[in-house]
Amino acid sequence: MSRKAPEAEKPENHERWIVSYADMVTLLFALFVVLYATSDANPQKLQSVRHSIDQAFSIGVLQGSNGSSPVFNSGGGLTPSISEIKSNHLAGLTETLNGFASANNIEGKIQVRSDADSITISLADNLLFDSGSADLKPGSQDVLLLVASALQGLPNEMRIEGHTDNIPVNSRDFATNWELSAARASRVLRFLSEQGGIDADMLFLAGFADTQPVGDNATPEGRALNRRADIVILYPTLEDLQESLAGTGR
């Protein structure tokens, strides 16, 4: 039986480096595409979004030591982060203000409530003002100083609102409830800014008269609920941030 002659050894392929080189070039190409896409972002839009989130949550977006952001790296996306931060604020404010109300026998005169994009602190009008007046009554300063202290450090914009019931005002100083509600909101805003240490740039006011009742104006109890000063702490919605990114936000 004849033996099969061994196959001749194939010559060594000295061009295998080309495969590794091609892989490296491909990866470099992908890297530079990503870098180009990032550098092509509109810096004004990016800055606007960063500023909006910083203002709302008092964090440095894309400025951490590792370039990460606690908002975008929350695992659940942007909306859960907004909700979580707002919930923490709500819990702290509720505990502080309810404790003060209980200690001073004014339960029910300070209320804290929350909705989708805000937290509202409601102060009964007879806690701050005499009937038909926009002058702070004795003792109301202690309440407002406590509220201001609780709000310290929050970077949110705050809308100070004045509200009345539907009974026409009986005062020579104010023609209608519109003027009264606006004057009361202005007085609270000035106190929070001038004596409470809240940044005036974060405050603005609105007078709503009897147009936004929270109780039934047909009953004395409902009218008492409607006569109030509200401090509304505002939070950006996902739509607000998307508008900022698109450059169409106000």
Identify the band that residue 41 occupies on the pLDDT scale cut at 50, 70 and 90: low
Checking if the pLDDT of 242 tops 50, the result is yes
Pairing of strands 158-163, 228-234: antiparallel
Task: State the burial class of residue 234 (Cβ atoms within 10 Å of its Cβ: 0-12, 13-18, 19+).
Answer: middle
Helices (H), 159-218: 177-194
For residues 168-193, give the mean pLDDT.
95
Task: State the burial class of residue 145 (Cβ atoms within 10 Å of its Cβ: 0-12, 13-18, 19+).
Answer: middle
Residue 233: its pLDDT value, please? 95
Query: Please, which residues bridge with residue 232 across strands?
Result: 120, 159
Better-scored residue on pLDDT, 32 or 225: 225
Over residues 93-125, the pLDDT tens digits come to 999 999 999 999 998 899 999 998 899 999 999
Residue 142: its pLDDT value, please? 93
Over residues 137-160, the pLDDT tens digits come to 998 999 999 999 999 888 899 999
Over residues 54-79, the pLDDT tens digits come to 555 554 444 444 444 444 444 444 44
Q: In whole angstroms, how far apart are CA 92 and each of 82, 89, 98, 120, 149?
A: 16, 5, 10, 13, 12
Cα 237 from chain centre? 8
Q: Is the pTM of this model over 0.85?
A: no
- Cα separation, 4 vs 34, in Å, equals 57
